[in-house]
Amino acid sequence: MTLEQRSLPDPLLGSDGRKVTTEEQWRSVRRPDILRLFRDYVYGREPVGRPEHIGFHVEKEDGFMEGAAIRKRVEIRFEGPGGAGAFRLLLFLPAKAAKPVPVFLLINNRGRAVADAERASSSPFWPAELIVSRGYAAALFHTEELDPDRDDGFADGVHGLFDPVEKPRSPHAWGTIAAWAWGACRAMDYLETDPDIDPRRVAVVGHSRGGKTALWAGAIDPRFAMVVSNNSGCTGAALSRGKRGETIRDINARFPHWFCETYKSFDGRENELPVDQHMLLSLIAPRALYVSSATEDLWADPESEFLSLIAAEPVYRLFGSEGLGTASLPPADTPVFGSGVGYHIRTGKHDMGLSDWRHFIDFADRAMRAQ
């Protein structure tokens, strides 16, 4: 389905019916409006930003990768009305690069195997060796440590620590994707304190449910200079209107804890949502945004991911940034880079691997240059 046939809401048309024509109008009026809509209707409202009680503890720091990297393990601890919590950040820094270095922060939804701190087997899903060899730090945290990925009535994880105890829960309260995104922001809180890291060059990366999370983290936290969404599909990068494969009804049925309760009232009614996902992408502007798809990932719907990026470009243009320079899906394995946005579609299935990472790093080399 073409973009025209999808009848998308216009990100640059204010709720008062007036067209946004300046960066200032976007920043002070339209952007906060769109962010509020996504909080109310889709991802839910997080009850707290940076908690009053938060601390960082570097548990261990040692040489690694035959001297090519410094490995740090950091514990991020916090307290809320429901008690204390913590999660760990694993960080490999390029030992020889001039500091501070830029960093790729992966929201890891694939469990311990890909993140083995000993690198007993290096994983294509998180190729820390490649990232470090290109002069970037590789950081990662596990989504499960913020909130286990199960529908438990929001008792465990950070929901249990920060949600008010009153029941029933608000239909706008945060879901699990928002809890993981909140974790990415707390990882950013730590990165800002690490003298080896350049906090103005942090790219947040996620695959699939992690990709939805990376986009939401980039939307709520402008400290992320770059966002990478890999195969994020439904309620990630892909447009909901006219989408093939997974729909809002499908995702809410299989993962009832990912989004706020209100989102369920849009099952089968994507055309009535006041937002569509190109508006989520537009919240990243003018910062760097990279979207990647895979040819066999029809459940995510590559065309709807690509067209979503195209539909977000007018907001990038408002900031004087060029778009991709093409409105049609590029050939497989051929990345297209604009100044603010980049895209590729990889041959293969729903996954993230070395070739994806090479393109992310190439794009970051251009889009996140040291100032």
Residues marked as catalytic: 208, 350
Cβ atoms of residues 306 and 295 within 8 Å: no
The answer to the question of residue 20 lying near ligand GTR (CB under 6 A) is no
Cβ closer to ligand GTR: 143 or 282? 143
Under the criterion CB under 6 A, does residue 277 sit at the interface with ligand GTR?
no
Determine if 233 is a binding residue for ligand GTR (CB under 6 A).
Answer: yes
Tell me which of 20, 173, 234, 367 binds ligand GTR, using CB under 6 A.
Answer: 234
Say how many residues touch ligand GTR, by CB under 6 A.
Answer: 6
Can residue 368 be called a binding residue for ligand GTR (CB under 6 A)? no
Q: Of the two residues 236 and 342, which places its CB atom closer to ligand GTR in the complex? A: 236
Residue 100, preceding bond cis, omega within 30 degrees? yes
Q: Is 246 in the site for ligand GTR (CB under 6 A)?
A: yes
Please give the span between the terminal C-alpha atoms of the chain, in angstroms, as a whole number. Answer: 41
Of 225 and 294, the one with the shorter C-beta distance to ligand GTR is: 294
| Number of neighbours of residue 244 by Cβ within 10 angstroms | 14
Crossing angle, helix 176-191 and helix 209-220, to 10 degrees?
60
Instruction: State the binding string over 130-169 for ligand GTR (x if CB under 6 A, else -).
Output: ----------------------------------------
Query: Smallest Cα–Cα separation from 346: which of 280, 282, 300, 289?
Result: 300
Contacts with 217 (C-beta within 8 Å, 6 or more apart), sequence order: 107, 180, 181, 184, 185, 204, 224, 227
209 near ligand GTR (CB under 6 A)? yes
Q: Encode 158-176: b = buried (16+ Cβ within 10 Å), e = exposed.
A: bbbbbbeeeeebeebbbbb
Question: Is 251 a binder of ligand GTR (CB under 6 A)?
Answer: yes
Residues of this chain that interact with ligand GTR (CB under 6 A) are 208-209, 233-234, 246, 251
